[in-house]
Amino acid sequence: MTVKVLLADDQALLRATFRILIDSCPDMEVVGEASNGAEALELARTHHPDVVLMDIRMPGTDGLSGTAGICADPELASTRVLILTTFETEDYVAQALRAGASGFLGKDVTADALLVGIRTVASGEALLSPGATRTLITRFLTSPAPGTYLAPPERLADLTGREREVMARAAEGKSNAEIAELLVVSPLTVRTHIHRAMTKLNARDRAQLVVIAYQTGLVQAGGDNGVPPRHGSSSTPDGIAG
């Protein structure tokens, strides 16, 4: 299956460079180019891309507004937003993650890393494991503004104990393989728990699941998150994977 990519950046030269790189891959194609967030939203509604590669600082409607519009549109539920930014704009990246973006990459990213990032986000995973991203999450997502919760704490009552535990580990930046080793279960079991938690919490993807974990208090920055708080459900047996 070909991954459809929409480019949103105000620098035409950079868009052209990304287009050449992406179109050189047999499993990807660029379906449109936008110079601001409003154009990105309009083109996303036209082309229904799998991934929008979104810059944040653009004239007119910026990438934050564009991300919020795309992620709030039910017709674009299958479209993922991958933020391209610099370290100095990490507070804006946090806002984009709250709005539903699936992760971010620095503009100094290598060509190979960019392509891997696009494929990762297109598959429904998130770019949330690097240390810089964990720092971003713990710094900005643990103190959300009033009324910005993606899910109230009591919504976690729908999760089993094991789902909460796996969700907490994912929020710490651990991969499925690392969580599986830690909990002595298979990576497939971990993946199943992640997807069940996403379904129950109406999370678009793993990135939003991580945001919910912090904003509901399931995990806390710098805290002991080894045993997630219980909310009334019993644990699911580790052997269940589907």
Closest among 163, 175, 52 to 117, alpha carbons compared: 52
The reported pLDDT for the residue numbered 141 is 56
Start-end of CATH 3.40.50.2300 domains in the chain: 3-127
Distance between CA atoms of 214 and 175, rounded to whole angstroms?
17
pTM of the shown model: 0.68
pLDDT of residue 225 exceeding 70, the answer is no
Ranking 37-51, 87-101, 131-145, 222-236 by mean pLDDT, the lowest is: 222-236
115-122: average pLDDT: 90
The residues with which 192 forms a beta bridge, in sequence order, are none
Give the other-Cβ count within 10 Å of 26's Cβ. 7
Cα–Cα distance measured from residue 49 to residue 105, given in angstroms and rounded to the nearest whole number? 19
Domain boundaries for CATH 1.10.10.10 within the chain: 155-242
Which of the two residues, 73 and 226, has the higher pLDDT score? 73
Query: Looking at domain 3-127, does it have CATH number 3.40.50.2300?
Result: yes
Q: Which of 43-52, 73-82, 189-198 has the highest mean pLDDT?
A: 43-52
pLDDT at 231 over 50: no
Separation of alpha carbons 30 and 33, rounded Å: 8
Average pLDDT, the chain: 80
Question: In this model, does residue 130 exceed pLDDT 80?
Answer: no
CB 118 within 8 A of CB 53: yes
On whether the CB atoms of residues 187 and 176 are closer than 8 A, the answer is: yes
155-242: CATH architecture: Orthogonal Bundle (1.10)
Residue 180 has pLDDT above 60, yes or no: yes
Return all residues near 91 (Cβ < 8 A) that are at least 6 apart.
Answer: 140
Which token pair is 132? 């810089």
Q: What are the tens digits of pLDDT across the range 61-84?
A: 999 899 999 999 999 989 999 988
Of residues 230 and 203, the one with the higher pLDDT is 203
